């Protein structure tokens, strides 16, 4: 597939031909189920859009039954910015319902298949976007990352996925899951394309009260020759699979060879990250998803009175994982449990953020696994707690609001992609992309 | 076991959700498993740590109090709502 950088040079006629070619390819690979709709929204370079980002007049459903029938009445800010830069939304990609999952199996539209192995998940929740880019069915895609939902599917499918610093990219028009953690980000074929798409979608937006007044760009200043200090966290790697350990050792060697300095640092046991994350995310989700009541948008199941209509619409409209997280969120926020769970998790969040701040006083980047292993087989993460534990390497980044990028390192003996991530200090996307480009180029040489 | 059937009934009420009879014991078990896991947070000392968290220390931005509205948004929402007429959502009868 043509890269985003190349596609931005195409003429209007060539772009029409590219979209026709894409539509044919998507149809020929219908079994992947990467797309749940093939809408188009005008001229420009086609970009696949996760089913939780508003595109005006599109049916944007968050992979859920409860939003069937909903039509987006406005464009998300990222869509407006894309269109102003000559890009156009093209196709809606599959996702875990309301972005709550690590496999894309919980979608109302059924599972998406990993392009590298039909018995494996593409990861999640942005599994459709990752599979589309990996299978050559998209030039690039947008995903959203609340606890790893861009980086983990990118790693499982062998593409590049980037989560910006919290506040860099407007959340206006993103289906809210956990508002203090959500960020939209690029999913692309290579690091440079990710930088280009990141530049296009980032920047201040008055419609998002958590948007920051920063508009600095990175793609015109990419410098892979910078010599950086990169931290590794040995107590993090010990629990990863052999495939991931091998890829990690390879990346460390390649980075050293490229002239970077590798240092060792410690982080607290990541089990606390998982707890702080699932308390925070479910609490915020229970509030955000209160708006789906069957009255104002989506689908309704009529009851004999208003209350019964709410309950029936929600009980029949939400899937099991979403219900579990709403119940859990209401538990941690409810009287008698609020202090022990929700407040405690916010305190722990301070500690997690401070730990990273201490490390980033001395280093430029951290190299880390994205997931404990390569893509799981379908059904193997059916136990909810098992699935939550698989997010061990990605969620502290969201809790601390940091930027991170996942990129492919090598292919395992079983033929599956192994990705790793680089993490940077808040708002240091330039160093993040410079380091990632250096790693990508060093792996190719 | 923190979560039992009584607590689940309370959570269903707070969530406006109904868990089917054949799924109740499974979800009680799963919620307990998750809740006992996240209790590891109590192992960490968080004395003197603020009990609220925000990504920035800046306060919520203020804007001028001038009316601004894309009137087509409410119109489009009403148009595609499950049941609506004129500029109203239609709901089951509230007052008998």
Residue A134 near residue A120 (C-beta atoms within 8 A): no
For A42, other C-beta atoms within 10 Å of its C-beta total 9
pLDDT in tens, A303-327: 999 999 999 999 999 999 999 999 9
Beta-carbon separation of B77 and A350 below 8 A: no
Residue A351's φ and ψ, nearest 5 degrees, are -65, -40
Among A350, A398, A403, CA closest to A168: A403
Measure B31 CA to nearest chain A CA, in Å: 7
Which of the pair, A118 or A42, is modelled with greater confidence?
A118
Whole-angstrom distance, CA of residue A188 vs CA of residue A195: 9
pLDDT in tens, A200-238: 999 999 999 999 999 999 999 999 999 999 999 999 998
pLDDT in tens, A172-183: 999 999 999 999
Order of all β-strands in the sheet with A261-264: A35-40, A87-93, A45-50, A141-145, A183-188, A160-163, A404-411, A417-424, A365-369, A229-232, A261-264
Whole-angstrom distance, CA of residue A364 vs CA of residue A432: 8
Cβ-based contacts of B39 with chain A (< 8 Å):
275
Beta-carbon separation of B77 and A297 below 8 A: yes
Q: How far is CA A114 from the centre of its chain?
A: 16
Whole-angstrom distance, CA of residue B81 vs CA of residue A294: 9
* Catalytically annotated residue among A5, A50, A81, A111: A50
Q: Would the pTM count as exceeding 0.95?
A: yes
Residue A262: helix, strand or coil by DSSP? strand
Cis peptide before A125 (omega within 30 of 0): yes
Active site residue A125: yes
Q: b/e per residue, A286-310, with b = 16+ CB within 10 A? A: bbbbbebbbbbbbbbbeeeeeeebb
Active site residue A81: no
Beta-carbon separation of B46 and A347 below 8 A: yes
The total number of residues written for chain B in this structure: 96
Whole-angstrom distance, CA of residue A5 vs CA of residue A152: 24
At residue A313, the pLDDT reads 98
Cβ-based contacts of B30 with chain A (< 8 Å):
324, 383-385
Number of alpha helices (DSSP H) and beta strands (DSSP E) in chain A: 16, 11
Is it the case that residue A259 has pLDDT exceeding 80? yes
- Assess B46–A contact: CB distance below 8 Å, yes or no: yes
For A102, other C-beta atoms within 10 Å of its C-beta total 28
A66-76: average pLDDT = 97
Whole-angstrom distance, CA of residue A436 vs CA of residue A156: 18
Residue in A with minimal Cα distance to B46 = A347
Among B35, B5, B30, B40, CA closest to A321: B30
At residue B96, the pLDDT reads 67
pLDDT in tens, A340-364: 999 999 999 999 999 999 999 999 9
Give the angle subtended at the CA of A274 by the CAs of A266 and A329, to the nearest 5°.
150
* Catalytically annotated residue among A125, A126, A129, A396: A125
Q: Supply B90's token pair.
A: 């239609």
Cβ-based contacts of B33 with chain A (< 8 Å):
384-385
What whole-number percentage of chain A has pLDDT above 90? 98
Measure A165 CA to nearest chain B CA, in Å: 10
Residue in A with minimal Cα distance to B3 = A331
ipTM comes to 0.95
Whole-angstrom distance, CA of residue A321 vs CA of residue A306: 25
Whole-angstrom distance, CA of residue A113 vs CA of residue A71: 27
A145-155: average pLDDT = 98
Active site residue A19: no
Q: Supply A278's token pair.
A: 């699932």
Whole-angstrom distance, CA of residue B77 vs CA of residue A120: 39
* Catalytically annotated residue among A129, A149, A219, A368: A149
Beta-carbon separation of B27 and A166 below 8 A: no
Whole-angstrom distance, CA of residue A167 vs CA of residue A184: 10
For B53, other C-beta atoms within 10 Å of its C-beta total 19
Residue owning tokens 């089913």: A51
Among A231, A274, A252, A254, CA closest to A425: A231
What whole-number percentage of chain A has pLDDT above 70? 100
Task: Give, for all 96 residues of chain B, the pLDDT tens digit.
Answer: 689 999 999 999 999 999 999 999 999 999 999 999 999 999 999 999 998 998 877 777 888 899 888 889 999 999 999 999 999 999 998 876
At residue B57, the pLDDT reads 74
A275-304: average pLDDT = 96
H/E stretch holding A67 reads none
A431-439: average pLDDT = 98
- Assess B77–A contact: CB distance below 8 Å, yes or no: yes
Residue A205 near residue A172 (C-beta atoms within 8 A): yes
Residue owning tokens 């893509």: A375
- Assess B49–A contact: CB distance below 8 Å, yes or no: yes
Whole-angstrom distance, CA of residue A402 vs CA of residue A370: 14
Lowest mean per-residue pLDDT among A97-106, A418-427, B63-72: B63-72
Beta-carbon separation of A69 and B83 below 8 A: no
At residue A61, the pLDDT reads 98
């Amino acid at each position: 597939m043509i890269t985003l950088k190349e596609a931005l040079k195409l003429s209007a006629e060539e772009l029409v031909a590219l979209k026709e070619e894409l539509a044919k390819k998507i149809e020929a690979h219908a079994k992947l189920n990467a797309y749940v709709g093939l809408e188009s929204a005008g001229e420009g370079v086609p970009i696949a859009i996760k089913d939780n980002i508003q595109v005006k007049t599109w049916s944007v459903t968050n992979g859920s039954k409860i939003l069937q029938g909903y039509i987006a009445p406005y464009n998300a800010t990222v869509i407006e910015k894309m269109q102003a830069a000559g890009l156009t939304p093209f196709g809606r990609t599959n996702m875990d319902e309301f972005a709550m999952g690590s496999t894309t199996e919980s979608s109302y539209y059924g599972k998406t298949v990993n392009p590298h192995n039909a018995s494996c998940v593409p990861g999640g929740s942005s599994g459709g976007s990752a599979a589309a880019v990996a299978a050559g069915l998209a030039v690039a895609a947008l995903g959203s990352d609340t606890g790893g939902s861009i980086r983990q599917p990118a790693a499982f499918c062998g593409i590049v996925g980037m989560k910006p610093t919290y506040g860099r990219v407007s959340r206006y028009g993103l289906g809210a899951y956990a508002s203090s953690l959500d960020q939209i980000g690029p999913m692309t074929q290579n690091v440079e394309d990710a930088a280009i798409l990141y530049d296009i979608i980032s920047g201040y937006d008055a419609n998002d009260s958590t948007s920051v007044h920063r508009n600095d760009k990175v793609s015109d200043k990419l410098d892979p020759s910078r010599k950086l200090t990169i931290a590794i966290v040995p107590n993090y790697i010990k629990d990863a699979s052999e495939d991931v350990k091998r890829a990690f050792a390879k990346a460390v060697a390649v980075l050293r060879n490229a002239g970077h300095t590798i240092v060792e640092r410690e982080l607290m046991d990541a089990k606390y990250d998982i707890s702080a994350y699932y308390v925070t995310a479910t609490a915020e989700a229970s509030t955000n998803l209160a708006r789906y009541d069957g009255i104002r948008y989506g689908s309704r199941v009529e009851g004999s009175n208003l209350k019964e209509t709410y309950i029936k619409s929600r009980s029949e409209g939400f899937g099991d994982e979403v219900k579990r997280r709403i119940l859990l969120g209401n538990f941690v926020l409810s009287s008698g449990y609020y202090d022990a769970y929700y407040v405690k998790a916010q305190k722990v969040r301070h500690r997690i953020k401070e730990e990273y701040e201490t490390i980033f006083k001395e280093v430029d980047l951290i190299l880390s696994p994205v997931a404990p292993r390569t893509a799981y087989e379908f059904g193997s993460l059916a136990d909810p707690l098992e699935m939550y534990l698989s997010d061990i390497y990605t969620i502290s980044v969201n809790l601390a609001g940091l930027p991170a990028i996942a990129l492919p390192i090598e292919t395992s003996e079983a033929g599956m992609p192994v990705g790793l991530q680089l993490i940077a200090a808040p708002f240091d996307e330039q160093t993040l992309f410079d380091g990632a480009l250096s790693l990508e180029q060093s792996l190719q040489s | 076991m923190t979560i039992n059937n009584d607590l689940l009934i309370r959570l269903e009420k707070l969530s406006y959700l109904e868990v089917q009879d054949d799924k109740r014991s499974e979800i009680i078990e799963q919620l307990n498993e998750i809740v006992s896991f996240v209790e590891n947070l109590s192992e960490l000392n968080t004395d003197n740590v603020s009990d609220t968290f925000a990504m920035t220390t800046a306060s919520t931005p203020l804007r001028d109090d001038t009316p601004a509205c894309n009137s087509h948004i409410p119109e489009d929402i009403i148009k595609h709502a499950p049941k609506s007429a004129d500029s109203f959502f239609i709901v089951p009868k509230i007052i008998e």
